[in-house]
Amino acid sequence: MDPASIAEGIKLLRQTYHSMFFLNLARMGFLVLSLYDVILCFPDELESIWKARWSTGKVLYICCRYTSIFYLIFCVVFQFLVDCPLEVSRIFSKLEFCCAIFVYVPFQVLVGIRTYALYNRTRMIKWSIIILFTIYILIAIGMGILFSEKGTYAKLPLQGASCVLELQKYPTASVITLFIAGTTYDLVLWIILVVRVYQAYDQGQTRLMGVIFRLGLLYFTFVTAMYIVCAVLFIKLPSTELLISTAIAHLLQTTASVLSARFILHLRTYLNDLSIQSISVSPERIMRVEDERKFGYQTSTDDSLYSFELAPPR
């Protein structure tokens, strides 16, 4: 091997370790941010979530809040492992990709439930969301299988080499397709939400617009924009800069986790003040209950909105 090739190899290895160091710092920073937010919200979380009975909303909160934290811990630990047997590196790499899929699912479920609620639980919206979510899950499973089958691994002839580097090649199309699927799902539901706001505006229902904004539109707008950024970065950046895209993906994951958990916590507190326990309550129902409390009369006896409980009465 000529000296030029050796020098090029050393340079590439140095760049790789520099990128990995940056990625691990980013992961640890996002982990600290997540844990800091848990500490800030823990008094409300203890009262509103952990002391409540088990419900769909409680499970969704725990998944949104803690799966992201455990996944970041897993990624940091994996990157610090060195001199692993090849089979161990293969198992950890597959777990890292598959766990990433699982981490994003609670965010998609939350978006679907709130979109369904803001359309007053209409059948057409329900089945549209179910079909979109099913397509997303099938694509995610397919990409997980593709990643598992097509990834190639090789033992590095270096002592103390990170196990992450033993993944020599993997189908980048699996990662790109996964983000495109998530972006499409979020973008379609975001458009549906914007249409709902326009309908309220067109009918002169400014109060209804305010309820929709308060119950999720701004949150969904931010998370959807982050999804689009991640998809574009994974498509546009060369494979040598893939660690940058990965760091941005972890930023999306952390941001979505923090905002989703806070969104559920604040929604639960707000609905509890109105004596409504359903995470899928419609804005019209909220307006009716607000009027009942404000003016002291009952406008509805409809109890059909008490499914998908965020936290039932204790």
| Tens digit of each residue's pLDDT (9 = 90 or more) over 35-63 | 999 999 998 888 888 887 788 888 889 99
CA distance 29 to 182: 24
Range 3-295 classified under CATH 1.20.1070:
yes
Q: Record the tokens describing residue 129, joined without a space.
A: 């969301």
Q: In the structure, what pLDDT confidence band is assigned to residue 127 with cuts at 50, 70 and 90?
A: very high
CA distance 117 to 129: 11
Best-predicted range by mean pLDDT (125-129, 192-196, 250-254, 287-291): 125-129
Per the prediction, the chain carries an average pLDDT of 75
Other CB atoms within 10 A of residue 109 CB = 19
pLDDT at 126 > cutoff 70: yes
Best-predicted range by mean pLDDT (72-81, 108-117, 126-135, 300-309): 126-135
Question: Shortest CA distance to 111 belongs to which of 128, 96, 123, 99?
Answer: 128
Dihedral angle sign, alpha carbons of residues 120, 123, 127, 130: positive
pLDDT for residue 311:
39
Query: Using the 8-state DSSP alphabet, how is residue 83 labeled?
Result: S
Q: In the structure, what pLDDT confidence band is assigned to residue 305 with cuts at 50, 70 and 90?
A: very low
pLDDT for residue 162:
65
pLDDT at 209 > cutoff 60: yes
What's the whole-number mean pLDDT along residues 86-108?
81
Q: What percent of the chain has pLDDT over 90?
A: 9
Q: What is the dihedral of CA 310, 137, 30, 172, to 10 degrees?
A: -170
Contact in structure between 261 and 61 (CB atoms under 8 Å): yes
Long-range contact set of residues 124-130: C-beta below 8 Å, sequence gap at least 24: 125/192, 128/192, 129/189
pTM: 0.76
pLDDT for residue 306:
33
The interaxial angle of helices 56-80 and 86-118, nearest 10 deg, is 150
Q: Where do the structural domains in the chain lie, given as residue ranges? A: 3-295
Contact in structure between 168 and 12 (CB atoms under 8 Å): no
What's the whole-number mean pLDDT along residues 283-311?
50
pLDDT for residue 299:
44
Task: Express each pLDDT in 274-291 by its tens digit.
Answer: 666 666 666 666 666 666
Task: Express each pLDDT in 161-198 by its tens digit.
Answer: 666 665 666 677 777 888 888 888 988 988 888 888 78
Q: In the structure, what pLDDT confidence band is assigned to residue 293 with cuts at 50, 70 and 90?
A: low
pLDDT for residue 309:
39
pLDDT at 68 > cutoff 80: yes
- Which residue type occupies 105? V
pLDDT for residue 277:
60
Residues contacting 215, CB < 8 A, separation 6+: 114, 117, 118, 267, 283, 286
CA distance 135 to 292: 41
CA distance 19 to 270: 44
Question: Shortest CA distance to 302 belongs to which of 292, 294, 311?
Answer: 292
Q: What is the CA radius of gyration of the chain?
A: 23
Q: Record the tokens describing residue 168, joined without a space.
A: 């020599």
pLDDT at 312 > cutoff 50: no
CA distance 189 to 223: 12
